Amino acid sequence: MEGETINVAFVFDDKFSDLFRVAAYSIAQNTKANLAIYIIDCGISEINSGKVLQLKEKCDNILSIKIGMPERVEVLENFPTEARFNSVVFYRLAIPKVFPELSRVIYLDCDIVATGDISELWHENLKGRPFGAVEEDGNFSDEKIRADKLAYLKFPEENRYYNSGVLLIDSKKFEESQIFERVIGQVKQTKIFFPCPEQDAMNICLRNDEHLPLHPKYNFIPFASLSKKCFFNIEKM
């Protein structure tokens, strides 16, 4: 659609600055529509902020890059995580608070590479739900693994576990559902370690019908059987 602008958000610190630039560049090169990029700064140095802003010069369809800072929450800052994670991961859920002007936004992890136009994801019908996400069936391809994870995380058996690395967000419904606040509440009361911090917390405390299951093509996960099946079907077309 001529003149359309797609809102894309990232949340990162200096550790992921280089990965962000690769991800954003790949999106811009594969998407025909214009892009407005929103970044939640969780510790980006002045040098790397300058490199981030230079993307506008390299990609004609990146119309703007806006950087904002979240209100930091102590319980999240002190939450124990594995070495590959830190409190930054929780602040993706604060995107509608930091950028209240957005009605719809695509959140992406920095360690992704876009191989197609994200316009299709942007136009997905959320059917009145706060967000869409790809279900991560790879974690549950083995019944014992599924049973162990269900027992450990203590989330409802009927729930489908989803990946939070790619989210299509309806900002108004996301805020009305108080998702950030509910995840904080889950973190406060948890007595177990979350291997995937905010992702596990979301899957535990949010109802299964609060997310729209998105097609696996939007978030290819190498170990997930649905992603593999989707990939091989596309290859045969």
Phi, psi of 115 (to 5 degrees): -115, 5
CA dihedral 128, 129, 131, 135 (to 10 degrees): -120
pLDDT greater than 60 at residue 139: no
Which of 83-87, 106-110, 230-234 shows the lowest per-residue confidence on average (mean pLDDT)?
230-234
Find the angle CA(149)-CA(151)-CA(152) to the nearest 5 degrees: 65
pLDDT confidence of residue 231: 47
Which domain does 202 fall in, by range? 5-236
Short-list 124, 116, 122, CA closest to 102: 122
The predicted model gives 144-161 an average pLDDT of: 75
Q: What DSSP string describes 163-181?
A: EEEEEEEEHHHHHHTTHHH
* Three-class HEC string of 105-147: EEEECCCCCCCCCCHHHHCCCCCCCCEEEEECHHHHCCHHHHH
Q: What is the mean pLDDT of the chain?
A: 88
CATH of the domain at 203: 3.90.550.10
pLDDT digits (tens, 9 = 90+) for 31-70: 999 999 999 999 999 999 999 999 999 999 999 999 999 9
Q: Which two tokens stand for residue 219?
A: 């978030």
CA 13 vs. chain centroid, Å, equals 15
- Distances in Å between the Cα of 193 and the Cα atoms of 81, 84, 163, 197, 204 are 8, 14, 18, 8, 13
Which of 30-39, 103-112, 150-159, 212-221 shows the lowest per-residue confidence on average (mean pLDDT)?
150-159
- Strand pairing of 131-135 and 211-214? parallel
- 138 contact partners, CB below 8 Å, separation of at least 6: 221, 223, 224, 225, 226, 227
What is the number of domains present in the chain?
A: 1
pLDDT confidence of residue 151: 79
Question: Environment class of residue 189 by beta-carbon count within 10 Å: exposed (0-12), middle (13-18) or buried (19+)?
Answer: exposed
